[in-house]
Amino acid sequence: MTAKHILVPTDFSAYADHALAYAIELATALRARLTLLHVFHLSPLTVGEVPPAVLNTVLQEIETDAQKQTQIALDRIQQAGLQGDSAIVEGLPFQTIIDAAKDKDIDLIVMGTHGRTGLTHVLMGSVAEKVVRLAPCPVLVTRGTTEAAGA
């Protein structure tokens, strides 16, 4: 099976940027198209504590920033001579990624990981780990060097 449609979830971190670079190289070799997916999650506690007017302003700022970052990534994809599209969605990240893979008939997911370990991993979990376990297609997880991540 050859991957013709690759999903690249991004949180716009250096780790996600590394995964995008890898996905662009892979898509070029496979002549595949790329779909970028940015998922932002607002916890119910946060939403319940913030006045509606403030929440709307915050949501607009999040979406505006995500659109700018997504356009930069789409420009990179197009400069590589590839077809690409994008989506910005509010939701639980791992579930939204899995749902997008099913809905868009994705052949492969390429995503970065922060590589958290220990207590941080236990408390925060791992989006990449959940996607690997539950995705309807293969998942390639990249882990950039600390230099690539800006650490």
pLDDT, tens digit (0-9, with 9 covering 90-100), for 40-64: 887 765 666 778 788 788 889 989 9
3-state DSSP assignment of residue 145: coil
- What is the pLDDT, as a whole number, of residue 124? 42
Answering whether pTM is above 0.95, one says no
Give residue 113's pLDDT. Answer: 85
pLDDT > 90? residue 147: no
Domains, the chain = 5-142 (3.40.50.620)
Strand, helix or coil at 3? coil
pLDDT tens-digit map of 76-122: 999 999 999 999 999 999 999 999 999 999 999 999 987 655 544 44
What is the pLDDT of the chain when averaged over all its residues?
86
The residues, ordered by sequence, that sit 6+ positions from 8 with a Cβ below 8 Å of its Cβ are 16, 19, 20, 23, 34, 35, 36, 37, 109, 110, 111
Nearest to 107 by CA among 38, 34, 37: 34
pLDDT higher than threshold 50 for residue 140: yes
Confidence band for 149, pLDDT divided at 50, 70 and 90 = very low
